Copies of this chain bind each other. A is one copy, B any other.
Amino acid sequence: MKNSLLELMKKRRSIRDYNTRRKVTDSKLKQLFEIVKYTPSSYNLQPWEFIVVRSAKNKKRLRACANNQRHVEEASAVIIVIGTTQPGKIAEAVAEDRMKKGTMGKAKKASFDAAIARIGADRHRATIWTTKSTSLAAMSLMLAAQSMGMDSCPLEGFDAECVKKEFAIPSNYEVVMLITLGYRSKEPPERPMRFSYQQKVHSEMYSD
């Protein structure tokens, strides 16, 4: 089986040792997010946003919110991946586009509006909702980085309140993930185990 995505998935490793001299440029970032934007999302609402942190001072502040993990400071860039829990405003733009393209009529618009209102009305539901689509984008981001020869590492070990405070993130967002981004300085240790097909895939019905 020759599959370039399989090769990409295998090449991607969670990298914690970065070449501190090799920088992630503006042009690379633009290319990266040009790939990420095609990620699918619930109602096409694209609830994700990204804060790109590259200054030494800000990486130090972010590291302090992230269990002092060294690669947060040493990676060329750290992406703070956030998701909105109040999609009302973006929903208007998305609905307008669909009505213009003729893929949303009056009945669809009414059920769309009702769904958006339901999401915004309950923070717990909204958090899970935004976490799903935003995590899809996070995976696209890591693969996009790899496809461009960059390395990355996803982090969940951080104090979200600290990150929100230090980076002026409004309260209606969730900090879903941090992703360090740069170029590996050495090969990572042997890849940790993966569970097998038999352990993960059930046929027709859940079975132990």
Number of copies: 2
Residues 88-100 of A, flagged 1 when their CB comes within 8 A of B and 0 if not, give 0010011001100
Given contacts A131-B135, A204-B52, A205-B167, contact A40 B147 (CB under 8 A): no
- CB of A201, distance to nearest CB on chain B (Å): 5
Q: Does A161 contact B (CB under 8 A)?
A: no
Residues 28-69 of A, flagged 1 when their CB comes within 8 A of B and 0 if not, give 011101110111101010101111111100100000000000
On chain A, which size bracket covers the interface?
35 or more
Q: Which of B42, B98, B193 contacts A156 (CB 8 A)?
A: B42
A65-104 interface with B by 8 A CB criterion: 82, 90, 93-94, 97-98, 101-103
Of chain B, the residue at the smallest CB distance from A49 is: B200
Residues 129-172 of A, flagged 1 when their CB comes within 8 A of B and 0 if not, give 10111011111101110111000001010000000000111100
Of chain B, the residue at the smallest CB distance from A30 is: B197
Contact A34 B51 (CB under 8 A): no
Contact A143 B143 (CB under 8 A): yes
Of chain B, the residue at the smallest CB distance from A31 is: B1
Contact A156 B170 (CB under 8 A): no
Contact A192 B103 (CB under 8 A): yes
Residues of B contacting A138 with CB < 8 Å?
A: 132, 136
Residues of B contacting A131 with CB < 8 Å?
A: 128, 131-132, 135
Given contacts A54-B204, A93-B193, contact A129 B156 (CB under 8 A): yes
Can you name 20 A-B residue pairings with CB atoms under 8 Å? A1-B31, A4-B147, A5-B35, A29-B201, A33-B200, A37-B195, A44-B193, A48-B200, A50-B202, A51-B204, A51-B206, A52-B202, A54-B204, A55-B204, A94-B192, A98-B192, A136-B136, A136-B138, A168-B206, A168-B207
**Seed contacts A46-B194, A167-B206; 9 additional CB < 8 Å A-B pairs:** A1-B34, A9-B39, A39-B139, A93-B193, A97-B193, A101-B190, A131-B132, A139-B140, A167-B204
